[in-house]
Chain A
Amino acid sequence: MSISRRQFLGGGIATGVLGVGQHLFPRWMPRMAFGQAGSRERDVMVVIFNRGGMDGLNAVVPFGEGAGYYDKRPTIAIREPDGSDTSAIDLNGFFGLHPRLRPLKDIYDAGALTVIHGVGSPDPSRSHFEAMEYMERGIPGDKMTATGWVARHLATASWTNNSPFRAVGMGTMLPASFRGEISALALRSIADFHLGGRQDQLAQVQRTLSGLYRVETPDDILSAQAGQVFNTMSQLEELANQFYQPEYGADYPDSEFGRGLRQIAQLIKADMGLEIACVDSGGWDTHDGQGSVDGEMSFLLDDFARGLAAFHADMQDHMNRVTVVSMSEFGRTASENASAGTDHGRASVMFVMGGASAGGVHADWRGLTGDALEDGDLAVTTDYRDVLAELLIKRVKNNAVDQIFPNHTVNLHNIFVE
């Protein structure tokens, strides 16, 4: 079944639908003005979760390690940079990008991309479930705190913002980082965020639904969420009917990740009051067939890099106030396994993209041999919370990092400029 308005109405519908729409929404619903929530003062955060455990060692290759890297990965290693498209892309003489991350090279060269290597959570869990939970809640090792770091950030912010788009999770469910006393929006498709059914009965359908859900007198989670749906439909009405044309030739990949980034760009440009958006990039659990230049991981890297590059191009007039940051629950084993893949490891990489990114590769690098390893794998030498805390302090202007990341002493690594 398609729930697309376009399919129901055929072509040439935009004005008709908009014309009807003007009086569709009940009068009680305030047309919100967001005051732009200080968008000049703080960055919009776009948080990417690479779910499954991204292999940082093949994404950003420490070719300078020589045998320490190559001996551990006889079939899946990425060759030292030799200028060809089957070798690593040199960043600084020691680290190089996987060839499928080529779209990120120009951004890196422009100083708008920072790579943090050897980064992760201090908790040693190698269970996806546990490690993701810890990372998203921002409290590694603590099973009792239910709220997530994003929710605590918004709850402790010194400013207010009543936009329904303040915190948006692109997808079917809200990420664990949003868990808490905040009103977050789960949004999968802007274009489809409207009511289906017979459009000539739309006003009656709206009226009946808002009555059934007692939207005017919200007293439980269901009526509150229903009110949020109406609110969001109202706010998105114009956007949903516009064909979004990315700028500067940006070409987003046609994937859940690419569509998510594209819609985040749309929301930011439309000044909907967005402060933080989360989007997932899934499938990084490459136990077998991970491959080297080709293979399972190369497809994931390709999607990831093309998505980021498209976003960066599309948003270039806005990137001075947008920061994109990626993370993964853990990295993978330093040595490849028996099936041309890697198993759950420790440290991985984070990417930070935006005008405030300091650029370069940040790594407290100790190598891939002997005591430098943590339980046999790349050691976590930078705490992922430090990266997020620095972003919050320097770019988002929330200094309450002791509440957002309790029991953690923040070290600033100068990954961001003020």
Chain B
Amino acid sequence: MPINRRDFFAMLGGVTPVAPNQAGGDDFSPRSPELHVLSRLTWGVTPADIANIQQMGMEGYIEWQLNPEAIPDPRVDEFMSRRQVLSMSATELRRIADEQYGFVLTNVLWARLFRATHSERQLYERIVEFWTDHFNIPLQDFLTEKTIDDREVIRKHALGNFRDLLFASAQSPAMLMYLDNDVSNKEHPNENYARELMELHTLGVSGGYTEADVKEVARALTGWTIEYGRNDMFVFDMNRHDTGEKLVLGQSLPAGRGIEDGLQVLDILAYHPSTARFIAQKLCRRFVADFPPETIVQSTAEVFFTTGGDIRATMRHLLLSDEFMTAYGQKFRRPIDFIVGTLRALRDGLEVDNTYVFIEPLEGMGQIPYAWNPPNGYPDVAGAWLNTNGLLYRWNIGLSMALAGEGYADGIALNLDAVIPPANTVGELVDLVADRMVAVTLPADLRQLFINLLNRDGDASAPVDARLRRDYLPTLVGLMIASPQFQWH
């Protein structure tokens, strides 16, 4: 196994640079509103997605994707049935992970990419990613627990109710361990979880809590721990609980209670207006733009608040808004999104033997799935990802992946003829590749660059013979993946 535990431990700490992006503009105009919707709801537009949205209409498609439980997903079901480690109990999984850390790790990482690539529930996979960042837990430290958390917390409640999601997270062994609430007790209340619960999970750093609130919440949550040595699940331990009176965000928690203290705190936080605002802000940053218009943040927060944290209703509002519809070219694909986008673009001709082929470049670009160390999750703005190292990686991944059919990428095979249909002329071939790879109308001057690649005289009507196709189709596809139009959506 190529990854060992020590390598994986040596990940970088966290930074969240802020830099204005702004792609947008004529270079990034989608071919149609439907293509814009698909490019944001999916992990990369495929011909099947286009057929679906044409058949269902835009609103119909969005509604379909908002109800993932009703969407059959045979390819993922089949995949999961072959990877038993992904559906094991914590006890079973821990036993295997202790002996075969790399085996479990590789399966979990590949499952992340596989589901994003092949699931019919594309929007669901995107929301799962959002909450994975929001309730970040580094896999390298908590392989078993995070694998369970992904299944039982994030995926179970991704489009459900925020309160349920928050409660599940608060009682998730992975979160209890990661943010140390498992060791908190009345003598030494640990503030780690209490702080991040308010700062990162609910109210936001400017959400109106004080240092005193952090201490009080930590007291309220004492006794929320793990039943170590039995089933290693959540347990409330009254002996560790501080039964004194507490004051949280101006509300009094009477003395003499047990688990009710923590439950009440979570209710206060889940239904707090600052939480609605904070979650709405983050959803809009993810799904609309790095710096979303205030109007959409405001209206999304209202929906979140008035529905009592109904995530599906909140997303429906956001995705049907004018602000969303006009925000094309505003989001820079993060590395995982870029890799999955490449996989989806090529998947009809791709055979994967060696899944590590996709993890190595993610390490090189700084986004191994679930591996962000600090509790704030992988950054979600272009400024964090758009740097020289990352850009060159994208170019080279595009170029070498498209050449996988010629041995440029170990352990994967690619038949580009299964991806790109035959074309008679150079212009036709460029258009076919562009249609398959990107959601925008290529500006004429950029289209001409591709034509120049295939024909020295820049003649779009020049014929494409077998040799030209063989020699240049991989590079054409690679450059389309390397293009700015593939990076922004």
Chain A interfacial positions (CB closer than 8 Å to B): 1-3, 8, 49, 51-52, 127-129, 132-133, 136, 143, 146, 171-176, 178-179, 184-188, 193, 195-198, 201, 204-205, 207-209, 211-213, 220-222, 225-226, 228-229, 232-233, 255-257, 280, 282-283, 299, 329, 338, 343
Is B338 at the interface (CB under 8 A from chain A)?
Answer: no
Instruction: Check A146 against B15 for contact (C-beta < 8 Å).
Output: no
The list of the 5 closest CB pairs from A to B, nearest first, reads: A172-B366, A197-B399, A51-B13, A1-B409, A186-B387
Is B48 at the interface (CB under 8 A from chain A)?
Answer: no
Please indicate the chain A residues that have their CB under 8 angstroms from the CB of B389 in the complex. 171-173, 186-188
Query: Do A208 and B449 contact each other (CB < 8 Å), given the known contacts A1-B400, A136-B15?
Result: yes
Q: How many A-B contacts at CB < 8 Å in the complex?
A: 183
Name the interface residues of B410-452: CB closer than 8 Å to any CB of A. 410, 412, 445-446, 449-450, 452
Is B309 at the interface (CB under 8 A from chain A)?
Answer: no
Partner of B450, one of A173, A176, A208: A208
B141 and chain A: residue at smallest CB distance? A285
Interface centre among B14, B17, B365 (most CB of A within 10 A): B17
Please indicate the chain A residues that have their CB under 8 angstroms from the CB of B360 in the complex. 1
Instruction: Check B365 against A172 for contact (C-beta < 8 Å).
Output: yes
B398 and chain A: residue at smallest CB distance? A197
Query: Do A176 and B15 contact each other (CB < 8 Å), given the known contacts A196-B400, A197-B475, A256-B10?
Result: yes
Instruction: Check B375 against A174 for contact (C-beta < 8 Å).
Output: no
| A/B interface sample: 13 pairs, CB < 8 A | A1-B357, A1-B404, A1-B410, A2-B409, A3-B364, A3-B397, A132-B14, A133-B15, A172-B390, A174-B387, A179-B18, A201-B475, A229-B392
Please indicate the chain A residues that have their CB under 8 angstroms from the CB of B11 in the complex. 282-283
Name the interface residues of B381-409: CB closer than 8 Å to any CB of A. 382-393, 395-397, 399-404, 408-409
Choose, from B20-28, B85-93, B126-134, the stretch at the interface: B20-28
Instruction: Check A221 against B382 for contact (C-beta < 8 Å).
Output: yes
Is B376 at the interface (CB under 8 A from chain A)?
Answer: yes
Instruction: Check A51 against B12 for contact (C-beta < 8 Å).
Output: yes
CB distance from B33 to the nearest CB of A (A): 24
Please indicate the chain B residues that have their CB under 8 angstroms from the CB of A338 in the complex. 183
Kindly supply a per-residue 1/0 record for chain B positions 451-489, scoring 1 wherever the CB is within 8 Å of any chain A CB and 0 otherwise.
011000000000000000000101100110011110110
Please indicate the chain B residues that have their CB under 8 angstroms from the CB of A208 in the complex. 449-450, 452-453, 479
Instruction: Check B403 against A197 for contact (C-beta < 8 Å).
Output: yes
Instruction: Check B396 against A232 for contact (C-beta < 8 Å).
Output: no
Please indicate the chain A residues that have their CB under 8 angstroms from the CB of B192 in the complex. 127
Size category of the B interface is 35 or more
**A1 CA / B359 CA spacing, docked (Å):** 9
Instruction: Check A222 against B400 for contact (C-beta < 8 Å).
Output: no
Instruction: Check A174 against B195 for contact (C-beta < 8 Å).
Output: no
**A207 CA / B445 CA spacing, docked (Å):** 13
Partner of B395, one of A49, A179, A209, A211: A209
Instruction: Check B449 against A212 for contact (C-beta < 8 Å).
Output: yes
Query: Do A132 and B13 contact each other (CB < 8 Å), given the known contacts A172-B364, A187-B388, A299-B6?
Result: yes
Please indicate the chain B residues that have their CB under 8 angstroms from the CB of A198 in the complex. 399, 403, 474-475
Please indicate the chain B residues that have their CB under 8 angstroms from the CB of A174 in the complex. 15, 17, 387
Interface centre among A146, A176, A195, A222 (most CB of B within 10 A): A222
Query: Do A282 and B475 contact each other (CB < 8 Å), given the known contacts A1-B408, A173-B366, A208-B453?
Result: no
Instruction: Check A196 against B390 for contact (C-beta < 8 Å).
Output: no
CB distance from A323 to the nearest CB of B (A): 22
Instruction: Check A3 against B14 for contact (C-beta < 8 Å).
Output: no
Partner of A195, one of B10, B12, B387, B396: B396
Please indicate the chain A residues that have their CB under 8 angstroms from the CB of B56 in the complex. none
Query: Do A225 and B12 contact each other (CB < 8 Å), given the known contacts A1-B361, A197-B475?
Result: no
A173 and chain B: residue at smallest CB distance? B366
CB distance from B335 to the nearest CB of A (A): 9
B407 and chain A: residue at smallest CB distance? A8
**A187 CA / B364 CA spacing, docked (Å):** 10
Query: Do A196 and B399 contact each other (CB < 8 Å), given the known contacts A172-B366, A208-B450?
Result: yes
**A190 CA / B385 CA spacing, docked (Å):** 19
**A146 CA / B17 CA spacing, docked (Å):** 8
Is B244 at the interface (CB under 8 A from chain A)?
Answer: no
Is B205 at the interface (CB under 8 A from chain A)?
Answer: yes
Instruction: Check A204 against B453 for contact (C-beta < 8 Å).
Output: yes
Instruction: Check B23 against A212 for contact (C-beta < 8 Å).
Output: no
Is B3 at the interface (CB under 8 A from chain A)?
Answer: no
Is B374 at the interface (CB under 8 A from chain A)?
Answer: yes
Is B19 at the interface (CB under 8 A from chain A)?
Answer: yes
Please indicate the chain B residues that have their CB under 8 angstroms from the CB of A143 in the complex. 205
Partner of B392, one of A133, A178, A193, A255: A193
Is B9 at the interface (CB under 8 A from chain A)?
Answer: yes
Instruction: Check B15 against A195 for contact (C-beta < 8 Å).
Output: no
Instruction: Check B13 against A179 for contact (C-beta < 8 Å).
Output: no
Query: Do A1 and B479 contact each other (CB < 8 Å), given the known contacts A208-B449, A208-B450?
Result: no
**A198 CA / B479 CA spacing, docked (Å):** 12
Partner of B484, one of A136, A212, A282, A329: A212
A178 and chain B: residue at smallest CB distance? B17
Query: Do A195 and B395 contact each other (CB < 8 Å), given the known contacts A1-B410, A208-B453?
Result: yes
**A43 CA / B180 CA spacing, docked (Å):** 42
Please indicate the chain B residues that have their CB under 8 angstroms from the CB of A228 in the complex. 388
Please indicate the chain B residues that have their CB under 8 angstroms from the CB of A175 in the complex. 15
Please indicate the chain B residues that have their CB under 8 angstroms from the CB of A3 in the complex. 361, 364, 393, 396-397, 400
Query: Do A280 and B449 contact each other (CB < 8 Å), given the known contacts A197-B403, A205-B399?
Result: no
Instruction: Check A196 against B408 for contact (C-beta < 8 Å).
Output: yes
Instruction: Check A205 against B479 for contact (C-beta < 8 Å).
Output: yes
CB distance from B57 to the nearest CB of A (A): 33
